[in-house]
Amino acid sequence: MKKMDLKGVVGLVFGNENSSSNEDSYVERLLDCISNGQLADDRRNAMAELQSVVAESHAAQLAFGEMGFPVLLGVLKERDDVEMVRGALETLVSALTPIAHAKLRANEVQPALMNTDLLSRDGQSISLLLSLLGEDDFYIRYYTLQLLTALLTNSPIRLQEVILTIPRGITRLMDMLMDREVIRNEALLLLTYLTREAEEIQKILVFEGAFEKIFSIIKEEGGSEGGVVVQDCLELLNNLLRNNASNQVLLRETIGFDSIISILKLRGTTYSFTQQKTINLLSGLETVSLLVSGGLETDPGSNNNRLTNKTVLVQRNVLEHLLMLGVESQWAPVAVRCAAFECIGDLISGHHKNLEALASKSLGDEPETEPALNSILRIILRTSSMQEFIAADYVFKNFCEKNSDGQKMLASTLIPQPMSITNARFEEDINMSFGSMLLHGLAMSEHDGDLETSCRAASVLSYVMKDNIQCKEKVLQIELESSMPSLGSPEPLLHRMVKYLALASSKKGKDGKSTTPRNSYFQPIILKLLVTWLSDCPNAVQSFLDSRPHLTYLIELVSNTDTTVCARGLAAAVLGECAIYNKSNEPGKDAFAIVDAISQKVGLTSYFLKLDEMQKSFLFSSAKPAQQRKPLTRSNANSMAEMEDIEENETNDINRNDDHPMLSSMFDSQFVDFIKKLEGEIRDNIVKIYSHPKSNVSVVPAELEQKKDEKDGDYIKRLKAFVEKQCSEIQDLLNRNSTLAEELASTGGGGESRCSGGGGSERVQIETLRRDLEEVSQRLEMVKSEKSNIESEALTYKNMAEKMETDLKSLSDAYNSLEQANYQLEMKSGGVGVDVEKIKEEAREEAQKESEGELSDLLVCLGQEQSKVEKLSARLMELGQDVDALLEGIGDDAGALNDDDDDDDDEED
Amino acid sequence: MSYDYLFKYIIIGDTGVGKSCLLLQFTDKRFQPVHDLTIGVEFGARMVAIDGRPVKLQIWDTAGQESFRSITRSYYRGAAGALLVYDITRRETFNHLAGWLEDARQHANPNMTIMLVGNKSDLSHRRAVSKEEGEQFAKENGLLFLEASARTAQNVEEAFLKTAEKILQKIQEGVFDVSNESSGIKVGYGRPQGTGARDGTVAQSGGCCG
């Protein structure tokens, strides 16, 4: 009968979601039944009911937190009824699981989070939960793990801290990895959450043999062919290794890296890459990249550890498997190929032996083998995926960085081929050398007008020449045959590249809006090549200036508002290099002439502005040293695995005057630093060149004297010629002077030239104004940063206050319930007749009140009150009170109540 | 890489007694006069030969500070050997030994082999604890004992090796169930067959019982 009553009330509860007082009292009654119910069945039913209410009702979750934990933790402590323990755990899981469809108002507390807070605050209850993992019953262990996972999801840091303080707490969790499969999988998830960014926990797990267990599970589940369990294992493994040098050393020194490498190994002829397998491989590649990036930067031994990891990985043949994934396997998804290239790039970066190892690798079956570097180059030239190009490009960047021998080796093969071969199709290029393939790529655009291939080749070429004067000189010697030999002699490669640059911008100009984002990166990459090439290389500068239109074109590009900020800035950098690395004495091509051209056609101020603008653009400001890749987790794995040229769609609507986002990976921190340094040099040198104009006429007083046997006529002629020269020079200087003065007046800035032209006072004024402006803007900056500081402070305080508030709330709730309990206890134990009167009266009142609204509610309440009366009577009797005498006064009322109760029952039936 | 046995060690003792320096001397054969405070736990490993058989030592160097105690305790149970270190120039580090031992007895495997190390023996002019006192304490508590110097490397090898010898001896006496991971001992995979058949049987019987 009781059960029926309960059902009735549930109906009411769901009919009336908003009345939280209803929920409160209902949950309270269920809890009361759980702790005080006479029959085991009643208690179990109440528990089941409680679980379902808490799982579905927002208000019930809220109500549960205030009263439920002590009761359910009590059940967990007693552990005499397995079914009750299971039920209690399941209920707790429900209480911590946010209800998906519940609509929360903005400022409302999420009850699941509040409950998490209540439960995780007490170390004892976590300790209690961990001890439940030792129970024999499967469901108890299973639900306990789920409960701990829920706690960790909602409040990771607190739980990590608590678990660390529990002796052998982590050991218990680790033991679950040896349990039966369902438990083991649950434990894997739990440990993954537990180890996120918690170095000490990561270490303890490893001490407890986590590596061995993880690898044995992976093996058991079939390596990369396995299911989501393998993915979970790898995520846990990666958590243990991320930024944790100590664990990396342990893995390397005791188990070794073979187990990791074998995950990357493709078996047989693999053409099937399921989504799961892709994710598994990506996770395995992430492991390699974590090992290669070592521990935290701040750790002094980090660099050593990183280098040793790289050495050991390559010794264990990881390159072979990476090349298989990145190059040889035709079916590997783009995401996997890219990640493999990134790993290769990381492995060789700054590691001499590994560079050599990669250079000596050959791919393919005899006799059709070719160097791995050639295969990677072919991918760069041919792939249709932008990401893959960038990833493969990264390999060459790292291969050439501070590796002059490697650069020379690559450059030595740069020998132009006769046209017949240059025209050969790519399919026949298996026997081509690296250099021929690269030159072929560079020359491609000549045939089909597609700049993309040439542009990618240009990117590789710039790595080959970077910081290497010998390679720069060598490449300068290269001349390409014109596509139409009849049109004339072969042209230098450098000139061809400038031609492509012009082609790229003219295409833009003509097509106007039809410019796709895809080719907006052509110009910057070719300019990057030129900047790299001309740097510290007077011969390259000379070759560049050999063709008069080059300079004109470059100057045009600097002031062309149709190009991107980056293209203008880079063009300005090339222009600057033409001035500062210029050793020429030829009039019109010397440094002075270049600076002159800049100042007259662009204006010095405007010129430096271009360099500034570029460095402020996102490409330069967003380039951070060694960006960490995002960890692969269950929640983002799918999207990572499905990477397929997403940027094609995403960037379609970007402004065509914006730079292509992909450039940010090519404009890495090294290049950004290089440009910064270059800009400083350009500024210094241009000022120097300007302030010391080379005079055509040297004035030597002795020459002005009439020579001994000189005739007067000749003397006058000589003097006249001299004066003419000086005159024209003065004219020259005056012209320049006026340009400078104009510029000064129009921009109010610069201050680069020291010529004190007209309008001295104006100059002074402008100068002071400029300084004032600078000061004010600095102050503004300061105030801004102060403001943001204060704002963030305010935010933290606000958060703190919120936390305090919830803390306070739960404390006061706890206090309230304590007081209630206290009150009840007082009533029960007092043995005071008057109280019985009161209780009865109260009971009657309450019963009457409730009966108006909810009939079934009344039933339960009355039953409970009555049993209370009975209990109290019995207690009174025990205490030796004269029960009969007391009952005389109140017996009639009680009888009447009883009658009512019966009547109601009858009616209902 | 292949080894007959793998032993897990921990190094414990007050802060500043030279635990990390002992480990560094043992694994890298170098001394670092100024060493950062150990945060939590650091790891080191080395392969050694005991009775002519390859044994891998995995060593966890713990932070001596009280605030890390709850973390470092997690490492007691799974260790086969412990180096309990004090500083012979600082009396209080010797006085705290009893507390450390108590901690170890409470949390560690009862069969853990403990080597008491009086470190900084090169600073004998500042000695505050006599060698006899150290010996006496070790004897009373059933510990191995050595005075060592991480600076001069004196007795550093010995401290680690003697502990390993003792553990190996215990294995041969059948004290350990080597298949149980909490013993801090693991039998190597790459164990060459035929060498030391007697111990092979011990290891195998251990495997069966587990």
Contact (CB<8Å) B74/A164: yes
For residue A900, how many other CB atoms are within 10 A of its CB? 15
Contact (CB<8Å) A253/B8: no
Question: Which residues in chain A have Cβ-Cβ distances shorter than 8 Å to B42?
Answer: 246
Which amino acid is it at A700?
V
Question: How many Å apart are CA A143 and CA A97, to the nearest integer?
Answer: 13
Is residue A323 predicted with pLDDT exceeding 90?
yes
Structure tokens at A169: 């707490």
Is residue B198 predicted with pLDDT exceeding 80?
no
Tell me if ipTM is over 0.95. no
Supply the pLDDT for residue A701. Answer: 64
SS3 A840: helix
Q: Which one has a higher pLDDT value, A635 or A209?
A: A209
Q: What is the pLDDT of residues A260-286, one digit of tens each?
A: 999 999 876 667 889 999 999 999 999
Q: What is the pLDDT of residues A375-404, one digit of tens each?
A: 999 999 989 888 999 999 999 999 999 999
Is residue A371 predicted with pLDDT exceeding 60?
yes
Supply the pLDDT for residue A655. Answer: 47
Which 8-state DSSP code applies to residue A630? P
Is residue A543 predicted with pLDDT exceeding 50?
yes
Nearest residue on chain B to A172, judged by CA atoms? Answer: B74
Q: Which long-range contacts (CB under 8 A, 24 or more apart) does A602-608 make?
A: A602/A555, A602/A558, A602/A559, A603/A743, A603/A747, A604/A686, A604/A743, A604/A750, A604/A752, A604/A753, A605/A743, A605/A747, A605/A749, A605/A750, A605/A752, A606/A559, A606/A747, A607/A558, A607/A572, A607/A575, A608/A683, A608/A752
Supply the pLDDT for residue A821. Answer: 82
Question: How many Å apart are CA A208 and CA A698, to the nearest integer?
Answer: 85
Instruction: Work out whether the CA dihedral A728, A729, A734, A735 comes out positive or negative.
Output: positive
Q: Which residue, among B62, B93, B57, has the nearest Cα to B76 in the 3D structure?
A: B62
Nearest residue on chain B to A300, judged by CA atoms? Answer: B36
Contact (CB<8Å) A249/B43: yes
For chain A, give the percent of residues with pLDDT over 90.
37
Supply the pLDDT for residue A10. Answer: 45
Is residue B176 predicted with pLDDT exceeding 70?
yes
The per-residue pLDDT of chain A, averaged, comes to: 81
Question: How many Å apart are CA A117 and CA A96, to the nearest integer?
Answer: 10
Mean pLDDT of the A35-39 span? 89
Is residue A102 predicted with pLDDT exceeding 90?
no
pLDDT confidence tier of residue A365, bands split at 50, 70 and 90: confident
Q: Collect all residues from B whose CB is shorter than 8 A from any CB in A.
A: 1, 6, 8, 40-45, 56, 58, 60, 70-71, 73-75, 77-78, 107, 181-182
Structure tokens at A528: 């990057």
Which 8-state DSSP code applies to residue A492? E
DSSP one-letter string for A718-736: HHHHHHHHHHHHHHHHHHH
Radius of gyration of chain B (CA): 17
Supply the pLDDT for residue A647. Answer: 44
Question: How many Å apart are CA B165 and CA B180, to the nearest integer?
Answer: 20
Question: How many Å apart are CA A736 and CA A752, to the nearest integer?
Answer: 14
Q: Which residue, among A78, A67, A73, A10, has the nearest Cα to A40 in the 3D structure?
A: A78
**A246 Cα to chain B: minimum distance (Å):** 5
pLDDT confidence tier of residue A5, bands split at 50, 70 and 90: very low
Q: What is the pLDDT of residues A448-484, one digit of tens each?
A: 567 888 999 999 999 999 999 999 999 999 988 766 5
Q: What is the pLDDT of residues B41-82, one digit of tens each?
A: 889 999 999 999 999 999 999 999 988 888 888 899 889 999
Supply the pLDDT for residue A100. Answer: 75
Supply the pLDDT for residue B127. Answer: 95
Contact (CB<8Å) A208/B78: yes
Contact (CB<8Å) A250/B78: no
> In which residue are the tokens 């039920």 written?
A87
Supply the pLDDT for residue A887. Answer: 62
Supply the pLDDT for residue B209. Answer: 36
Length of chain B: 210
Question: Which residues in chain B have Cβ-Cβ distances shorter than 8 Å to A169?
Answer: 74
Option in B45, B75, B107 nearest A250 (CB): B45
Which 8-state DSSP code applies to residue A514? G
Question: How many Å apart are CA A214 and CA A188, to the nearest integer?
Answer: 9
Mean pLDDT of the A317-344 span? 93
Question: Which residues in chain A have Cβ-Cβ distances shorter than 8 Å to B1?
Answer: 256
Structure tokens at A425: 């199709």
Supply the pLDDT for residue A892. Answer: 52
Supply the pLDDT for residue A423. Answer: 53
Question: How many Å apart are CA A366 and CA A361, to the nearest integer?
Answer: 13
Torsion of CA A72, A75, A76, A81, to 10 degrees: -140
Q: What is the pLDDT of residues A833-871, one digit of tens each?
A: 556 677 778 778 776 766 666 666 666 667 777 788 778
Contact (CB<8Å) A200/B71: yes
Supply the pLDDT for residue A132. Answer: 94
For chain A, give the percent of residues with pLDDT over 70.
79
Contact (CB<8Å) A199/B40: yes
Supply the pLDDT for residue A628. Answer: 58
Question: Which residues in chain A have Cβ-Cβ distances shorter than 8 Å to B6?
Answer: 254
Option in B45, B74, B181 nearest A209 (CB): B181
Is residue A518 predicted with pLDDT exceeding 70?
no
Cα–Cα distances in Å, from A764 out to A755, A810, B115? 13, 69, 81
Supply the pLDDT for residue A377. Answer: 95
Is A356 exposed, middle or buried (CB count within 10 Å of its CB: 0-12, 13-18, 19+)?
A: middle
Which amino acid is it at B124?
S
Structure tokens at A196: 């996120």
Of A688-692, A787-791, B196-200, the range with the lowest mean pLDDT is B196-200
Is residue A339 predicted with pLDDT exceeding 50?
yes
Question: How many Å apart are CA A436 and CA A415, to the nearest integer?
Answer: 6
Supply the pLDDT for residue A465. Answer: 95
Question: Which residues in chain A have Cβ-Cβ distances shorter than 8 Å to B2?
Answer: none
**B75 Cα to chain A: minimum distance (Å):** 7
Question: How many Å apart are CA A335 and CA A746, to the nearest integer?
Answer: 53
- Are the C-beta atoms of residues B83 and B97 closer than 8 Å to each other? no
Q: What is the pLDDT of residues A210-247, one digit of tens each?
A: 999 999 999 999 999 999 999 999 999 999 999 999 99
Selection from A21-30, A535-544, A622-631, A867-876 with the highest mean pLDDT: A535-544
Q: Collect all residues from A whose CB is shorter than 8 A from any CB in B.
A: 164-165, 167-171, 199-200, 203-204, 206-209, 246-247, 249-250, 253-254, 256
SS3 B185: strand
Is residue A652 predicted with pLDDT exceeding 60?
no
Q: What is the pLDDT of residues B114-153, one digit of tens each?
A: 999 999 999 999 999 999 999 999 999 999 999 999 999 9
**A63 Cα to chain B: minimum distance (Å):** 35
- Are the C-beta atoms of residues A631 and A242 closer than 8 Å to each other? yes
Question: How many Å apart are CA B77 and CA B60, to the nearest integer?
Answer: 12
**B19 Cα to chain A: minimum distance (Å):** 16
Nearest residue on chain A to B107, judged by CA atoms? Answer: A167
Which 8-state DSSP code applies to residue A295? B
pLDDT confidence tier of residue B196, bands split at 50, 70 and 90: very low
Counted across chains A and B, CB pairs separated by less than 8 A come out at 56
Q: Omega into A367 within 30° of 0, i.e. cis?
A: yes
Q: Which residue, among A661, A577, A606, has the nearest Cα to A386 in the 3D structure?
A: A661
Is residue A557 predicted with pLDDT exceeding 50?
yes
Contact (CB<8Å) B75/A204: yes
- Are the C-beta atoms of residues B203 and B186 closer than 8 Å to each other? no
Contact (CB<8Å) B74/A171: yes
Cα–Cα distances in Å, from B144 out to A286, B84, B133, B157? 45, 10, 13, 14
> In which residue are the tokens 């004269």 written?
A882
Q: Which long-range contacts (CB under 8 A, 24 or more apart) does A837-844 make?
A: A837/A889, A837/A890, A839/A865, A839/A868, A839/A869, A839/A872, A840/A869, A840/A890, A840/A893, A840/A894, A843/A868, A843/A869, A844/A893, A844/A897
Structure tokens at A441: 């790529």
Option in A164, A200, A256 nearest B1 (CB): A256
Of A2-16, A301-315, A707-721, A872-886, the range with the lowest mean pLDDT is A2-16
pLDDT confidence tier of residue A627, bands split at 50, 70 and 90: low
Radius of gyration of chain A (CA): 41
Nearest residue on chain B to A161, judged by CA atoms? Answer: B71
Prediction pTM value: 0.76
Mean pLDDT of the A169-187 span? 92
pLDDT confidence tier of residue A14, bands split at 50, 70 and 90: very low
